Structure 1
Amino acid sequence: MRIEAGDNGYLAWADNLLAGPIEVRLDVAGGAPPPSQPLLPARAGVAAAGSTLVARLQAPAGSEGWTRLRLRGVPGSSNARPRDVAYRLPLAQPQACIDQGFEGEYSHHDAENRYALDFAVPVGTPVLAARDGVVMQLQDGYRGHGLDRARDASRANYIRILHDDGSMAVYAHLAEAGVLAGVGQRVEAGQRIGLSGNTGYSTAPHLHFAVQVNRGMQLEAIPFRMPAAQAGTGAGAPAGAQATSSSSADGSTRSRHCDSLSSMPTERR
């Protein structure tokens, strides 16, 4: 947020450092909001690498004191209209093991992750773009993992790719320095964009993949279609699936059930 002095008050600006649109909400952290145009809380969209005037804050003559403002931003445009397209597997191999699918009980139960897939792969596995797009946002400076959601959820390395219909794909838990594309770079489906890892809130090495849209200051995962391949689910595994487990480098284990991806509810609805 950027505050500039203006006629009879102040101008509150939002600057977007991402290579894709964001939506912001300006409010006060406590107490009564100051007179403003528009009234607070105020929302606005900000174009990629752009700036938007969110509100004009009035300072009546003779007034004293201060107001603590709070600006929150969410990636993506709330005007996105995702199309029904087929996503390719985000891995080079023709087969993959999925140990948590849509609405998985362990961590796929909130709006941002409800329709996500966790591919169980060793650290350093090449990650491919599942669809054409532009690298909008990335993080690749974290190492290590943990099971404290409040502490570790924000410490996962990831790459966010914006599609031409406004939807966004998130590839998460990448290795440290495991992002192989830069912000603003256009990538094609099948292009290598990263290396899988085990960072952030994670029990064992895997790739977390989700397609998200901004539903008005709220990221929501949406169902998607993906070609059938050998796969599996952890939570809610199909009846009769064979359970296996594997160990990560640090000795932690992750239970796995392998079955066909075609048996999973990966259709848009």
Structure 2
Amino acid sequence: MKRSALAAGVAAVALGIAAAQATEVYRWTDAAGRPQYADRVDARVPAQQVARVEVPIEAAAIARLRVEAGQDGALALVDNLLAGPIEVMLHADGGGPFASDPPLPARGTVPAQSGALLARIASGTPRLRVVAVPGTPNARPREVEYLYPLQTAALRIQQAWGGGFSHADAENRHAVDFAAPVGTAVVAARDGVVMQSEAGFADAAPGEDEDALVARANFIRILHDDGTMALYAHLQPGGVLARLGQRVRRGQVIGLSGNTGRSTAPHLHFVLQANRGMRLESLPFRMFGPQGILRFGDAQAGGE
């Protein structure tokens, strides 16, 4: 990371402006040279290779808020940590009267792995907070036939479109859960660029709260040329086999399936998404499976 959120917070305090609340995670580099982030340390990683970093809670692993001194007041900047575009919204939560250009909340798109100025704070000491969403709101989905994303001859769907267990929200309404033994090779369903990934979460421990597991699934997010994004989730610990920013081809092995996060049985959660203006929506898609065209029109029984 170029600069920690803690450093950004120090700069903000010096200017009398509070940066977004932060949470602590751990960072290390795996054997393949890929940076890994997690809320707990893999016991196999030597302690001297692990660093503690802080990231904003609402934009964890997506964006970082920086507040710096400028000639005409404070500059509120947002760094994009992903290898693909993000949309961000800068808010002021109290802190008394202030003046900014543009007025807050301010919204913008930040290109891959770069920073952007969101607002100039001319006066006052607002408490700033940034919310970030992967992708650009300018996505224009094309008609594409997606490849079955697992190297298995047999196919079993645990939960399809509109599944009542966890596919009722807008982000996952058109998601599909493919049952697969832990360690099954996951392949790219379409050409694209690895814009985001997480491989450092361990399997759930017995008795862990289900709500706490929702955000602890290992995953790969791949950006397609039309702005849509495919999410491959619940990968095994260390199960990301493609590096951030890498361009992958349809059928290329990108990971290993698992059972991390809020998952009741090993499977791959696959969903096609687009940013529809500070919110992700899942999209219906066509897919060719081991025995031909797959149809997901009806919700199917089974748990995630």
Q: Shorter-normalised TM-score: what interval?
A: 0.7 to 0.9
In structure 2, the residue matched to 1:134 is 193
Is residue 145–residue 203 contact of structure 1 (8 Å, CA) maintained in 2?
Answer: no
In structure 2, the residue matched to 1:163 is 224
Call closer, same or farther: CA 1:33–1:139 in 2, change over 3 Å. farther
Bigger radius of gyration, 1 or 2? 1
TM-score normalised over the length of structure 2? 0.73
In structure 1, the residue matched to 2:278 is 217
Residue 50 of structure 1 deviates from its aligned partner by 1.2
| Unpaired runs of at least 5, structure 2 | 1-64
For residue 286 of structure 2, give the secondary structure of its aligned residue in structure 1: coil
Matches within 5 A, 1:66-215: 66-145=125-204, 148-215=209-276
User: Which AA in structure 2 matches 1:25?
Assistant: M
Is residue 165–residue 303 contact of structure 2 (8 Å, CA) maintained in 1?
Answer: no
In structure 1, the residue matched to 2:100 is 36
User: Which AA in structure 2 matches 1:41?
Assistant: P
User: Which AA in structure 2 matches 1:48?
Assistant: A
For residue 15 of structure 1, give the secondary structure of its aligned residue in structure 2: strand
Residue 96 of structure 1 deviates from its aligned partner by 1.1
Which whole-Å CA distance do the structure 2 matches of 1:88 and 1:209 have between them? 11
For residue 217 of structure 1, give the secondary structure of its aligned residue in structure 2: coil
Residue 122 of structure 1 deviates from its aligned partner by 0.7
Call closer, same or farther: CA 1:228–1:90 in 2, change over 3 Å. closer
Which whole-Å CA distance do the structure 2 matches of 1:255 and 1:167 have between them? 26
Structure 1, residues 228-263: CA drift from partner, whole Å, max 9, x if none?
546798x843xxxxx9xxxxxxxxxx669xxxxxxx
User: Which AA in structure 1 matches 2:197?
Assistant: L
In structure 2, the residue matched to 1:9 is 73
Structure 1, residues 125-147: CA drift from partner, whole Å, max 9, x if none?
11000000000000000111377
Which whole-Å CA distance do the structure 2 matches of 1:168 and 1:255 have between them? 24
Residue 35 of structure 1 deviates from its aligned partner by 1.1
Percent of paired sites with the same residue: 57
Structure 1, residues 87-144: CA drift from partner, whole Å, max 9, x if none?
0000122431001000100000011111000001110111000000000000000111
Call closer, same or farther: CA 1:228–1:127 in 2, change over 3 Å. closer
Is residue 159–residue 303 contact of structure 2 (8 Å, CA) maintained in 1?
Answer: no
Could you say what the CA RMSD is over the residues aligned between the two structures, in angstroms?
A: 2.1
Residue 57 of structure 1 deviates from its aligned partner by 0.8
| Unpaired runs of at least 5, structure 1 | 238-242, 244-253, 257-269
In structure 2, the residue matched to 1:22 is 86
For residue 155 of structure 1, give the secondary structure of its aligned residue in structure 2: coil
Matches within 5 A, 1:255-266: none
Which whole-Å CA distance do the structure 1 matches of 2:73 and 2:95 have between them? 19
Is residue 81–residue 167 contact of structure 1 (8 Å, CA) maintained in 2?
Answer: yes
Call closer, same or farther: CA 1:139–1:33 in 2, change over 3 Å. farther
Number of positions where the alignment pairs a residue of Structure 1 with one of Structure 2: 235
TM-score normalised over the length of structure 1? 0.82
In structure 2, the residue matched to 1:264 is none
Is residue 78–residue 117 contact of structure 2 (8 Å, CA) maintained in 1?
Answer: yes
Which whole-Å CA distance do the structure 1 matches of 2:97 and 2:112 have between them? 29
Which whole-Å CA distance do the structure 2 matches of 1:221 and 1:145 have between them? 26
Which whole-Å CA distance do the structure 2 matches of 1:32 and 1:98 have between them? 53
